[in-house]
A and B are shown apart, each in its own frame.
Chain A
Amino acid sequence: IAGITQAPTSQILAAGRRMTLRCTQDMRHNAMYWYRQDLGLGLRLIHYSNTAGTTGKGEVPDGYSVSRANTDDFPLTLASAVPSQTSVYFCASSKGTENSPLHFGNGTRLTVT
């Protein structure tokens, strides 16, 4: 079944540790995104990529980095995790056209202690 796969499903991480959240899509979508979702704040864009080889900063990029080496994969790295990065992280993709909706992965629940 075509879609987006995120890993891990959940993770507890000690503050200061490095962590990479994985995201893979098999829909050949051009654009990919990382959002975090926090209670009362909704989904906030961290980083995005309009096409392989390019990335851009979203609303809350600090403390996160991404790469887009190919069309399918868009990993999100926390270089040195802090408790404020405790959240649910959603990866999404779209065809990249104006009216194309986002397709979301099932999310990664990250707790930084």
Chain B
Amino acid sequence: GQNIDQPTEMTATEGAIVQINCTYQTSGFNGLFWYQQHAGEAPTFLSYNVLDGLEEKGRFSSFLSRSKGYSYLLLKELQMKDSASYLCAVKGGDYKLSFGAGTTVTVRA
């Protein structure tokens, strides 16, 4: 089975940086994805990591350490529109994508 853990909630100030951690224990590994989901909407793809290291996409970066079963999503220069849930998802050895419960980020002015 898959076990994916991430914090339930985080709060940060507009303009600040927030780091959302994700730890996982899976049967095999074929990549880690981060999704953003605004309340009442569908999840949308943010990033993909399959090799160790940092992937940067504008204000968002994602890091992976396969040996530690660990990833983080870094959100820089926070904006009010970044208030959302952030979902960590791991593609296991069976190539199925399993999701963590999500981290709700609240950005305050």
Contact = CB atoms under 8 A, between A and B. Distances in A.
A99 B98 contact: no
B91 A103 contact: no
Interface in B77-109: 87, 89, 91, 95-102
A4 to B, nearest CB: 8
Contacts of A48: 96
Given A43-B87, A98-B30, A98-B31, A105 B99 contact: no
A103 B89 CA distance: 14
Interface residues of B, number: 22
Contact of A98 (B43, B50, B99): B50
Contact size range, A? 20 to 34
B43 A104 contact: yes
B44 A42 contact: no
20 contacts: A41-B101, A42-B99, A43-B87, A58-B96, A59-B98, A90-B42, A98-B31, A98-B50, A98-B95, A99-B48, A99-B50, A101-B33, A102-B43, A102-B97, A103-B45, A104-B42, A104-B43, A106-B41, A106-B42, A107-B42
Interface of A: 33, 35, 40-45, 48, 58-59, 90, 98-99, 101-107
Given A41-B101, A43-B43, A104-B43, 12 more contacts: A42-B99, A42-B100, A42-B101, A44-B99, A45-B96, A48-B96, A98-B31, A98-B50, A101-B45, A102-B35, A104-B44, A106-B42
Interface of B: 30-31, 33, 35, 41-45, 48, 50, 87, 89, 91, 95-102
